[in-house]
């Protein structure tokens, strides 16, 4: 039997939008939305069934059982400190980088409810396949947050802080750094008046292959082939952007070592 919770969402940004709507769709009741600016809170509440919009963090009279902090990393501790809730309430933040401890001085039933995804306002994301990483101080809280997670996603995991840090480092490589490789690629093309969109189909297929066959197996290119003539030629052309040349050199060397 499913269990439905009464929830307050603290925040009205991208994570708040996606979580609030997914949780309501799953049958939970969003009692309150807290937003510093009432207008953005009301915008979100309009998408929901029956939700109060508040701009005070004194939520001692809220019906909610779980208070989800969907706010930026820098604000979590400050908001946790100001937040007043009923004694039985659970407070969970949604950050991949902040430890559980940022909540512990101010609340007892604390946890993390971290969806491993990047959200943009207005672009629907199917949460069902998004991993949700759970951590909690008490087992009962962990159980509640896991149940909540399973109501919106089929991928719910208990991930303790040390592993969450490793996940974050891995995400920096897989997302931030690979995205930066696209930025450099675009800038190289732009400086030669070639349109970046020419590479779009190749990029999409490269990522598809990496995720199906594994990136180690699907690698191609001059460094993988140890084609030193091509690498030298490329380094020569890249002299006009020494910082890109440095990156090309380091990554080619690392790639060659990796496959030797």
CB of 196 to a copy of itself, least distance (A): 8
Report if residue 118 touches a copy of itself, rule: CB under 8 A.
yes
Q: Which residue lies nearer to a copy of itself by CB, 34 or 248?
A: 248
Whether residue 16 contacts residue 9, with contact meaning beta carbons closer than 8 Å, is answered with: yes
d(CA 159, CA 164): 6
**CA-based angle 50:56:62, to the nearest 5?**
45
DSSP track, 126-162? -GGGS-EEEEESSHHHHHHHHHHHHTT-S-EEE--HH
Single residue of 26, 54, 57, 189 touching a copy of itself by CB under 8 A:
189
Whether residue 102 contacts residue 90, with contact meaning beta carbons closer than 8 Å, is answered with: no
Interactions with a copy of itself, residue window 136-155 (CB under 8 A): 155
Single residue of 158, 172, 226, 232 touching a copy of itself by CB under 8 A:
172
Single residue of 49, 56, 257, 260 touching a copy of itself by CB under 8 A:
257
Q: Which residue lies nearer to a copy of itself by CB, 48 or 188?
A: 188
Report if residue 124 touches a copy of itself, rule: CB under 8 A.
no
Single residue of 78, 177, 226, 232 touching a copy of itself by CB under 8 A:
177
CB of 205 to a copy of itself, least distance (A): 5
Residue of 110, 168, 101, 157 lying closest to 130 (CA atoms): 157
Beta strands in 35-87 (DSSP E): 52-54, 66-69
**Site track for a copy of itself across 197-236, x = CB under 8 A:** -xxxxxxxxxx-xxx--xxx-xxxxxxx-----x--xx--
Single residue of 36, 124, 143, 182 touching a copy of itself by CB under 8 A:
182
Q: Which residue lies nearer to a copy of itself by CB, 55 or 174?
A: 174
d(CA 128, CA 111): 21
Q: Which residue lies nearer to a copy of itself by CB, 47 or 166?
A: 166
Strands 90-93 and 66-69: parallel
Interactions with a copy of itself, residue window 33-62 (CB under 8 A): none
3-class SS at 32? strand
Single residue of 38, 140, 185, 226 touching a copy of itself by CB under 8 A:
185
CB of 31 to a copy of itself, least distance (A): 29
CB of 54 to a copy of itself, least distance (A): 29
Beta strands in the chain (DSSP E): 6-10, 29-34, 52-54, 66-69, 90-93, 109-115, 132-136, 156-158
The DSSP symbol for 214 reads -
Interactions with a copy of itself, residue window 68-107 (CB under 8 A): 97
Q: Which residue lies nearer to a copy of itself by CB, 45 or 238?
A: 238
């Amino acid at each position: 039997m499913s269990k439905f919770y009464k929830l307050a969402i603290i925040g009205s940004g991208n994570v708040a939008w996606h979580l609030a709507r997914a949780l309501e769709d799953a049958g939970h009741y969003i009692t309150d939305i807290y937003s510093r600016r009432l207008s953005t809170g009301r915008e979100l509440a309009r998408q929901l069934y029956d939700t109060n919009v508040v701009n005070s963090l004194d939520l001692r009279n809220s019906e909610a059982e779980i208070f989800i902090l969907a706010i930026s990393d820098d604000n979590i501790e400050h908001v946790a400190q100001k937040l007043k809730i009923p004694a039985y309430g659970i407070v969970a933040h949604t950050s991949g980088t902040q430890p559980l401890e940022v909540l512990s001085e101010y609340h007892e039933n604390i946890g993390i409810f971290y969806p491993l995804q990047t959200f943009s306002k207005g672009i629907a994301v199917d949460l069902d396949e998004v991993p949700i990483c759970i951590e909690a101080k008490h087992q009962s809280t962990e159980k509640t947050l896991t149940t909540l997670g399973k109501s919106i996603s089929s991928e719910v995991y208990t991930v303790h802080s040390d592993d969450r840090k490793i996940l974050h480092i891995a995400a920096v490589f897989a997302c931030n750094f690979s995205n930066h490789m696209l930025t450099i690629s675009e800038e190289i093309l732009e400086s030669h008046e070639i349109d970046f969109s020419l590479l779009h189909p190749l990029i999409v297929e490269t990522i598809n292959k990496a995720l199906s066959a594994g990136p180690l197996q699907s690698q191609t290119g001059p460094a993988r082939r140890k084609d030193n003539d091509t690498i030298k030629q490329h380094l020569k052309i890249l002299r006009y952007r020494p910082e890109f040349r440095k990156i090309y050199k380091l990554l080619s060397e690392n790639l060659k070592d990796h496959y030797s």
